[in-house]
Amino acid sequence: MVGSSLSSGRGGPAEFSAPVGAAVRWTTRLMVAVVVAITIADGWLAFSGLVPGPARWLLLASPLLIAGVLSGIGWYSRILGYRLEAGELVVLRPKREKRISLAGLISAEVDPKAMDWSIKTWGNDGLGAVTGHYRNRRLGAYEALVTDRKRMVVLRWPERRLVVSPDRPEEFAREIQIRAQRCK
């Protein structure tokens, strides 16, 4: 289970959970509210007599399509946790894992303001998680795999930046630096 204790001295796997922060929770709630509002509006229009009969089915089906797409995005975007294995960071996602080599890692720094003033170039701004590619003046181009903006850790390689949000950011930063040193 994600969230087990560290094993830095032994080199075995160390797991960290990915708690969902307030911004992700509120973004997800907002999207649910939008779908509910669209459903109510479409239902009212469909039965108001303002829309011709054949178009009613489209009004009634569109919120289901929107809800399905948003649910899929939210589920697929989630981050369940982070695991440090020998020489790798494993980002745990639904039905898959993303493996990132620690070779060449320069630093791991706790920075709750890492994503401030960022511009999204591609990604998801908070439905289930904040994931994708972003850019700001401090980090340049970077990838985000974040669930809580208050727990962010910036990982730096010579040509890459990654922002993650483990439950214990200070322990995570120390542990990942120890493991990166072993990769040299």
Contact of 158 with 141, CB cutoff 8 Å = no
Report percent pLDDT > 70 for the chain: 93
Mean pLDDT of the chain: 90
Domain holding 180, by residue range, is: 1-184
* More confident call, 131 vs 182: 131
- The pLDDT score that the predictor gives to residue 60 is 84
User: pLDDT tens for residues 17-71?
Assistant: 999 999 999 998 998 899 889 888 888 888 888 888 778 888 888 888 888 898 8
pLDDT in tens, 132-157: 999 999 999 999 999 999 999 999 99
Q: What's the structural domain count of the chain?
A: 1
Q: Look up the pTM and report it.
A: 0.84
**28: its two tokens:** 């997800």
The pLDDT assigned to 8 comes to 44
- For residues 71-81, average pLDDT: 92
Distances (CA, A) of 73 to 19, 59, 78, 96, 108: 18, 22, 9, 15, 29
Confidence check: pLDDT of 4 > 80: no
> How confident is the model at residue 10, as a pLDDT?
54
Buried b (16+ CB within 10 A) or exposed e, 69-96: ebeeebebbbbebbbbeeebbbbbbeee
